[in-house]
Amino acid sequence: MTMKPKNTSNANTMWGGRFAAGPDAIMEAINASIGFDQRMAAQDIAGSGAHAAMLAATGIITDKDAEAIGEGLLTILSEIEDGNFEFSTALEDIHMNVEARLKDLIGEPAGRLHTARSRNDQVALDFRMWVRGQTDAASEGLRALIGVLLAQAEAGADWVMPGFTHLQVAQPVTWGHHMMAYVEMFGRDMSRFEDARKRMNQSPLGAAALAGTSFPIDRHMTAQTLGFDAPAANSLDAVADRDFALEFLAASTICAMHLSRFAEELVIWSSAQFRFVALSDRFSTGSSIMPQKKNPDAAELIRAKIGRIMGAMVGLFTVMKGLPLAYSKDMQEDKEQVFDAADSLMLALAAMTGMVADMSANRAELEVAAATGFSTATDLADWLVRELGMPFRDAHHVTGTLVGMAEAKGCDLPELTLADMQSVHDAIHKGVFDVLGVHNSVASRTSYGGTAPDQVRIQIARWKEVLG
């Protein structure tokens, strides 16, 4: 038996039963989300497919209707993928656009799909699956970036370069060690995304509008079909929660901050004043007026992307704060900024990966720079402690005097004569010159996690094993 309701007005056919008139054009404009939530079409269709199959398995709808729904959904998916789907603003969002098209295609059974479901659990599901996909994409992007950093570190495990604090030369370090510092940062980012994924992987589907449903649904079944670990345990929370998106944005912001720091170093390093690295033509641009220029635009853009990513995080926190349970339409404002942040992050990760893979370190330049700025002064002070038994504070003072002397003579520490040294402290002997060279300096820093090439190689091997 078919009971077809009469349509008595131009009100919305999905929810307009009690409405005498359709919405004002401005109401439609502020209400519609189809302009952006069509990006969740694949998730919406997968969710509906799982829901329909569950409704049939529990006897809530017939197998025949579920089959018609499943086939219709597949047709819609290919229409959308082929660009043959006409999205309608009057139908508000992706959920109603898909359902309306399903009705065109299969007729009455389409109306049974929304049994024991609401757009509130539907949108929570779709968005969660979309964010889950991006969380995986971020982990993969980070894995690729770590891979190219490891290759750089391996090639230059024993190349020397200046290490900086306050952007002033501090002590020599190895190129490999510097690259591996970023491996640690991006490794933590990866673990943050993996960790967030575990927490987000609960299915809101079946929470319905907010209170659950009186139909005998099987939420475990849909959760499993859609790759979730379990159904979310509280229906109010399930439709009201956007923590998964916030965690994604928080992890993205920290990652973007790391990308920004590295990008800044590449901008500095590729300048004519530093010449530590050459960026490839593929990741640089020219100037329309200055023919000699090769600009690190990709690095600069990566440095800047944190602006919109962190903006999205602050934006969504601001939307969510103070919202009472359960669903409020405010939450429709959750998507655009997450979409933009995800796009920005994936692009920044890909650009950084390409740039690092192509980048060539200027080994000779790094070596010269490593020895400037009295970078082995700490080695000298340590030698005075070790060899002459001086208290470190005294050794620091003697070394400072020697640095002052070198500065006055316009030379570096290894160029001071033994007589110069002995004029400051007569017990100094020629063995001191062994520690003033930058290679000896880095090779001596063998403490766990130190810059010695052997330590760097241990960390490279560990990371290779971690990544498999």
> In terms of CB distance, is 126 or 189 closer to ligand ARG?
126
CA distances in angstroms from 322 to 236, 330, 331, 430, listed in the order given: 16, 11, 12, 71
Is 166 assigned a catalytic role? yes
> Among candidates 101, 85, 84, which has minimal Cα distance to 48?
101
> In terms of CB distance, is 121 or 189 closer to ligand ARG?
121
> In terms of CB distance, is 119 or 178 closer to ligand ARG?
119
- Map residue 203 onto helix, strand or coil: strand
Is 287 assigned a catalytic role? yes
CA 308 – CA 306 distance, rounded (Å): 6
Taking the complex as a whole, how short is the minimal distance between the CB of residue 127 and ligand ARG, in angstroms? Answer: 8
> In terms of CB distance, is 122 or 375 closer to ligand ARG?
122
Taking the complex as a whole, how short is the minimal distance between the CB of residue 94 and ligand ARG, in angstroms? Answer: 8
Taking the complex as a whole, how short is the minimal distance between the CB of residue 279 and ligand ARG, in angstroms? Answer: 42
Binding site for ligand ARG (CB under 6 A): 33, 37, 93, 119-120, 123, 327, 329, 331-332
Taking the complex as a whole, how short is the minimal distance between the CB of residue 304 and ligand ARG, in angstroms? Answer: 29
Interior/surface letters 82-97, b for 16+ CB within 10 angstroms, e for the rest: eeebebeeebbbbbbb
What residue type is assigned to position 197 of the chain?
A: R
Supply the DSSP string of 116-173, one letter for each residue. T--HHHHHHHHHHHHHHHHHHHHHHHHHHHHHHHHHHHHHTTT-EEEEEETTEEEEEE
> In terms of CB distance, is 235 or 378 closer to ligand ARG?
235
CA distances in angstroms from 130 to 7, 200, 229, 313, listed in the order given: 35, 11, 16, 17
CA 12 – CA 25 distance, rounded (Å): 13
Taking the complex as a whole, how short is the minimal distance between the CB of residue 122 and ligand ARG, in angstroms? Answer: 7
Phi, psi of 7, deg, nearest 5: -95, 110
Non-local (6+) Cβ contacts of 183 within 8 A are 146, 149, 150, 153, 459, 463
Q: Which of 9, 88, 191, 287 is catalytic?
A: 287
Taking the complex as a whole, how short is the minimal distance between the CB of residue 335 and ligand ARG, in angstroms? Answer: 7
CA 353 – CA 182 distance, rounded (Å): 12
> In terms of CB distance, is 33 or 252 closer to ligand ARG?
33
Q: Just list the catalytic residues.
A: 166, 287
